[in-house]
Amino acid sequence: MCEANYSEVSEFVFLGLSTFRPMQHFLLTFSTVFYITIVLGNLLVVYTVTFDPRLHSPMYFLLANLSFIDLCLSTLTVPKMISDLYSGQNTISFQGCVIQIFVLHVLGGSEMMLLTAMALDHYVAICKPLHYLTVMSPRMCIWLLVGAWLIGLTHSVTQLAFVVHLHFCVLNKIDSFYCDLPQFIKLACTDTYKLKFMVTANSGFISMGTFFLLIFSYIFILATVWKQSSGGLSKAFSTLSAHITVVILFFGPCIFVYVWPFPTVTVDKFLAILDFMITPILNPVIYTLRNKDMKMAMRRLNSQLLSW
């Protein structure tokens, strides 16, 4: 039955977050407000870092790049979700779905690597301050960036190479608001046991490995600070706790979606909101409201703009 035609399913239907009308109205408002904030906040970070020469340092370059990826990650899923909620027409073409999965994994993989690069930057700045300028050179920065994108790309290609040949016949309802591998594979009518294992191994390994590496590095950094002076610990902790929060909020859902062995899609799709709407807001909030240099840079750029 299933071997007949490869493209019998030409589009998928998203079941969305909720079918309850008042809940949909709430989600529509909530996601519109959040998405606008994400766009403005992250563009502000990229703009400030690009145009203020005083922020031309590895830390701010990495930060601006992270903001850029966050913006893309949100744009990949949230506008589609908003338009689905608004129009009630929740379909996506087969190609659209595959492209969404591909881009999602390129961006997700790159974001994870970029968060690792930022941890490295913190580590060198705090634990090897004398070597900071030689280690985190502009060339190193470019390498970290190129490395992050290449790893994201490789990860995504290797996963997708296995699933593009899947056959789909009858089922086309995706119980979520975006396409990702776990739901996609579930709809195929061929036996996907090995594929499920492959996805868990690939995506799960990357997210868990990176997560533990990051948590371990932050503990190591804090321990180093504590050994040097117990007074410095609270200051370092207040700076690093923001990062640790972002790391936990970003990786938590990823690990849950890919590694948790039991299918609990209802939880999965709500957790995904953290990655597409909450963490992309956190970076601008942390860096624009809490960072003195960034606030001063914005004030300078603002007065420059006004004096034109």
Residues that bind ligand NAG (CB under 6 A): 46, 49-50, 61, 64-65, 68, 141-142, 145
> How far apart (Å, rounded) are the C-alpha atoms in residues 196 and 190?
12
The owner of tokens 């997560």 is: 211
State the nearest-atom distance from the C-beta of 61 to ligand NAG, in Å.
4
Nearer to ligand NAG, 109 or 253 (CB): 109
d(CA 214, CA 149): 18
> What 3 state SS string does 41-62 have?
HHHHHHHHHHHCHHHCCHHHHH
Q: Which is nearer to ligand NAG, 65 or 176 (CB)?
A: 65
Contact predicate 42/6, CB 8 Å: no
Q: What is the nearest approach in angstroms of ligand NAG to the Cβ of residue 18?
A: 35
In angstroms, give the least distance from the CB of 245 to ligand NAG.
Answer: 22
Q: Containing H/E element for 100? A: helix 94-127
Smallest distance from ligand NAG to CB 52, Å: 12
Residue nearest ligand NAG (C-beta atom)? 64
- Closest to ligand NAG by CB, 99 vs 145, is 145
**CA 39, chain centre distance (Å):** 14
Q: Give first-to-last CA distance, the chain, whole Å.
A: 69
Q: How many residues does the chain have?
A: 308
* Number of neighbouring beta carbons within 10 Å of residue 217: 17
- Least distance in angstroms from the C-beta of 70 to ligand NAG: 11
Residue 12 β-bridge partners:
92
On the CB side of 234, CA atoms within 13 Å amount to: 1
Min dist. Cβ of residue 142 to ligand NAG (A): 5
DSSP 3-state assignment of 137?
coil
Dist CA 106 CA 84 (whole Å): 24
301: closest CA among 64, 55, 38? Answer: 55
Question: Minimum Å distance from CB 23 to ligand NAG?
Answer: 36
